[in-house]
Amino acid sequence: MRVTVDQDKCCGAGNCVLLAPEVFDQREDDAIVVLLDERPAERLHAAVREASDVCPAGAIRLSETS
């Protein structure tokens, strides 16, 4: 799995950080998403998929190809 984020779309809701803190963080000044790991371990895939699904801005993109 490969993860990308669109910081311009991010609204700072923080759902991604709550669901997958090993993969996502937020900037302190404006809460915009920061991608910590673009190729997360397989054990994190379910949480990353959920984070992508619940992102209100659609700022998280997933690719299943390596």
Fold category of 2-63 in CATH: Alpha-Beta Plaits (3.30.70)
What are φ and ψ of residue 54, in 5° steps? -95, -5
| Average pLDDT, integer, range 22-26 | 98
Residues 45-59: pLDDT tens digits? 999 999 999 999 999
Residues 6+ apart with CB under 8 A from 36: 22, 23, 24, 25
The reported pLDDT for the residue numbered 65 is 74
What's the mean pLDDT when you consider all of the chain? Answer: 97
Q: In the chain, what percentage of residues exceed pLDDT 70? A: 98
Residue 8 has pLDDT above 70, yes or no: yes
pTM of the model: 0.94
